Amino acid sequence: MRIIPAIDIIGGKCVRLTKGDYSTQKTYNENPLEVAKEFQDFGITHLHLVDLDGAKASHVVNLKTLETIATHTDLKVDFGGGIKSNEDIESVFNAGANQITGGSIAVKNPETFINWIEKYGTEKIILGADCINRKIATHGWQNTSEMDVIEFIKNYVEKSISYVICTDISKDGMLQGTSNELYSEILSEADVKLIASGGVSCLDDLHKVKEIGCEGAIVGKAIYEGKISLKELRDF
């Protein structure tokens, strides 16, 4: 299972939110490149980079941060947040992203998202299935829909999606464990490479999502709050 640390960006700084609430913003480092380099120094190979300004604004804002990290590290970056247009996705790939994550666009403009899957291939496009009470949420989690998360994922499996990041928003930033029941159900219903996101608090959580069959796990606040060390992640 891949370990994928997260760097969330607001105003060019490395921050974390709790349950996606922008009023809970906590800044951990003013230089995201420093953080990314530290991850790389401990043998980390992948990075989940989220443009929280972009998610809110519905267009990519922190492109420069992506470019800086992609240029100065060897990390394979998946980038999400505010990718809404063909111009956005082109600029993100040109800036050095290895993959992009599309959430809101997959809900609000499925035609465009399906076109991206066809154009760039299933290895490049990740479906962002962010949910609360099993209902899909969009626009930096500011809006919720009536769409069931598993039906949403299954619909895109029919459109050839391969990678899915599923974040249970109620768990995100809470350091209280992952949504193992939900992940088990997704994997029993859909043939996808599932990346667990939200709630990782300790190594035991990582072992659990690995046992369930997740292809990857995103780790955020647990690193920044010192709950899991980078050495532990390297050894895992």
Q: Which ranges of 80-169 does DSSP label H, i.e. alpha helix?
A: 86-94, 104-108, 110-120, 149-157
Q: Of 130, 168, 172, 205, which is the active-site residue?
A: 130
Task: Region of 82 please: left (phi>0), alpha (psi -120 to 50) or beta.
Answer: left
Report whether pLDDT(74) > 60.
yes
Per-residue pLDDT of 103-158, as tens digits, reads 989 999 999 999 999 999 999 999 999 998 899 987 555 667 679 999 999 999 99
Residue 8 falls in the annotated catalytic set:
yes
Place of tokens 């267009």: 59
State residue 141's pLDDT score: 56
Q: Of 8, 51, 78, 168, which is the active-site residue?
A: 8
Per-residue pLDDT of 202-213, as tens digits, reads 999 999 999 999
Report whether pLDDT(99) > 70.
yes
State residue 170's pLDDT score: 81
Global confidence as pTM: 0.94
Per-residue pLDDT of 13-68, as tens digits, reads 999 988 888 999 999 999 999 999 999 999 999 999 999 999 889 999 999 999 99
Percentage with pLDDT > 70 across the chain = 97
| Spatial CA neighbour of 77 closest among 99, 60, 92 | 99
Rounded Cα distance between 4 and 129, Å, is 17
State residue 229's pLDDT score: 97
Rounded Cα distance between 93 and 83, Å, is 11
Place of tokens 């970056």: 77
What integer is the mean pLDDT of 172-181? 84
| Between 216 and 141, the higher pLDDT residue | 216
Rounded Cα distance between 44 and 38, Å, is 9
State residue 171's pLDDT score: 78
CATH number 3.40.50.720 is the correct assignment for the domain at 2-235 = no
State residue 206's pLDDT score: 97
Beta-carbon contacts of residue 17 (< 8 Å; ≥ 6 apart): 8, 24, 25, 26, 52, 172, 173
What confidence category does residue 222 fall into, taking pLDDT thresholds of 50, 70 and 90? very high
Residue 130 falls in the annotated catalytic set:
yes
